[in-house]
Amino acid sequence: MDRLESILKEKIISDSSAGGGCIADARIVETSSGAKYFVKSYSSVGSAILRNEANGLRELEKSNAIRVPHVVHQDNEMLVLEYIRSGSRKKNFSEIFGMQFAEMHKFTSDEFGFFENNFIGSTPQINLPRSINWIDFYWNNRLLYQYRLAEQNGYVSDSFSNSFMQLEKRVPLILEGSEEKPCVLHGDLWGGNYMTDENGNPVLIDPAVYYGHREADLGMTYLFGGFDSGFYKAYNEHYPLPSGWEERIDIYKLYHVMNHLNLFGTGYYSHALSIVKSYL
């Protein structure tokens, strides 16, 4: 606590656990002035993930479209964030969320990827080298990378291998017609990676940021729930998606299903294989 007090330049009067995810230790601290902070540390993957999360939050903040926790401090041991008090959703929360998420996706770059590699969960996410070709980037840095991890982990059968190699030839056709400029992505948006602030508005947390195709961000939202029809309707009204986006959602879900296969084991094997075969 002495070190944190030195960073905050205030005495800490309370320190309580905030629960947290699979790999993070999260705490809420309050200082003598009444200010509160959200403090995260990681025992397994260490300083890299702290830096990556801080940089991701800063990148999302640049879009000035949707609230994210402001980074107060980050070093090799801890990430100190603005504490955001949770509140009840506004009646039109989903519509606000969809519109703000669409506005965030208007923040663009010239290349796919990011200035550093980061993590998707505790799995490395490869963002370098950057690319001007989305199909090449998505295949090599997302799907093929996860496939090779699955091979190393012993999760790839002959059936999966044969189908996956056929998918490689199909990907250009699957994604044809959806070309857009690279835009900033949250990268891991499911129901557990957003919250409602004290004013009833959405807040994005725990990002895996890179610049990619916005349909990839939406693909993850379909995987584990947490988003209703109002979210997607508002998104499309504010920033219409290219024709045929519904048929491409599963190819973007595949990255996350394969990551869950690598993180949690064979319970995700059938789902991954069924997505691959659905495009053949």
CA dist 42 and 45 (Å) reads 6
Tell me whether residue 63 is exposed, middle or buried, using C-beta atoms within 10 angstroms of its C-beta: 0 to 12, 13 to 18, 19 or more. middle
Tell me whether residue 117 is exposed, middle or buried, using C-beta atoms within 10 angstroms of its C-beta: 0 to 12, 13 to 18, 19 or more. middle
CA dist 269 and 279 (Å) reads 16
Given 2, 15, 158, 188, the catalytic residue: 188
CA dist 228 and 191 (Å) reads 11
Q: How is residue 176 annotated by DSSP?
A: T
| H helix intervals, the chain | 2-8, 47-62, 93-104, 134-137, 144-153, 158-175, 214-221, 229-238, 245-264, 269-278
Q: How many CB atoms lie within 10 A of CB 24?
A: 21
3-state secondary structure of 30: strand
Is 158 part of the annotated catalytic residue set?
Answer: no
CA dist 55 and 113 (Å) reads 14
So which residues are the catalytic ones? Answer: 188
